[in-house]
Amino acid sequence: MPPLKELAKRPERLTSGHRLCAGCGAPIAIRLILAAADKPVVAANATGCLEVSTTIFPYTAWNIPWIHSAFENAAATITGVETMYRAKKKRGEIDEDIYFVAFGGDGGTYDIGLQSLSGAWERGHRFVYVCYNNEAYMNTGIQRSSATPLGAWTTTSPVGKVLPGKTQWRKNLTEIAVAHDIPYVAQSVPSNWRDLTLKAEKAFHTEGPAFLNVLASCNRGWRHLPADTLKVNQLAVDCCIWPLYEVENGEYRLTYKPREKKPVEEWLKVQGRFQHLFSPAYRYLIDEFQAYVDREWERLLEKCGETKK
């Protein structure tokens, strides 16, 4: 992967003038991922913050061909585009190499779009699917999704007298992707440009489906200061809540190992959505949270061949 100064020479594929919130994690991820593409890119986008805020008619922040049609179908849509490209190539009507990418939030990926994504993976189209995962339906105003972690306050898992926010653990979509046996799957964060661009480059170079699950904080929904976006994302990595790893042709590899595994409290305490967990009534959930994280982390270490001998 070229250094940042080289990436900065590439065309700006997502321009200024979009209307995502100040400090939003999504455009950082999208800009870096698109900068990692060494060939032209055509994108599809699921309904969500990114789609809405970048294309308020008559303005578009996209300097690349881009299509949005609905919420649950970004994968099906991009496979239609990619298939037409193959049809045209076969007939000799196009000769350029093009990358195809689909963007969706966690709502459009973990929940409503999972069926079409699973279908596209099974069919084996060459495309990169990027989930910018902000752990809730942020575009509609912070409702819980299956990516929302245990104990998080959202507007559909509010904290009340009898309920402590979300009562379920999150779905492990990255492992669901791995189970499809697609050639490239990775988790990353916008706070580590090198990790993210390396994985994006690998994803674009993959001859078949590639999946990037990128944790991208929403400061409005997570309740932290806009300037803390990178810090909060990086803490998720250092607490092993969002491990950075990749699975290439079935081979697991940990791409970043925290020097010391921080307790999940470190991540929870910097976000307003978890503040109630620090009251005596709900503190037990922090232990449950830690137990979930520990279990997933140990499993991952084992898969990556990183377990202590």
Residue 106 beta carbon to another protein: minimum distance, rounded to whole angstroms:
18
The answer to whether residue 9 forms part of the interface with another protein (CB under 8 A) is yes
CB 109 within 8 Å of CB 67: no
The single residue among 44, 247, 285, 300 that binds another protein, judged by CB under 8 A, is 44
* Spatial contact of 127 and 78, defined as CB atoms under 8 Å apart: yes
Which residue lies nearer to another protein by CB, 89 or 253?
A: 89
59 is a contact residue toward another protein (CB under 8 A): yes
CA 33 centroid distance within chain? 11
Binding another protein (rule: CB under 8 A), the pick from 78, 186, 264, 300 is 78
Could you tell me if 134 and 214 are in contact, meaning their C-beta atoms sit under 8 angstroms apart?
no
Does the footprint of another protein cover residue 48 (CB under 8 A)? no
292 is a contact residue toward another protein (CB under 8 A): no
Residue 90 interacting with another protein (CB under 8 A): yes
Nearer to another protein, 66 or 245 (CB): 66
Site string for another protein, 101-130 (x = CB under 8 A): --------------xx-xxx-xx-------
* Contact criterion met (CB below 8 Å) for 9 and 38: no
- Whether a cis peptide bond, with omega within 30° of 0, leads into 58 is yes
Choice from 1, 33, 51, 103 touching another protein (CB under 8 A): 51
Q: Which is nearer to another protein, 194 or 303 (CB)?
A: 194
Closest CA to 110 of 74, 141, 78: 74
Residues 208-247, interacting with another protein (CB under 8 A):
225-231
For another protein, the closer CB: 114 or 203: 114
**What span, in angstroms and rounded, lies between the C-alpha atoms of 290 and 252?**
23
Please give the structure tokens belonging to residue 61: 């922040």
Question: How far is residue 242's CA from residue 296's CA, in Å, rounded to a whole number?
Answer: 10
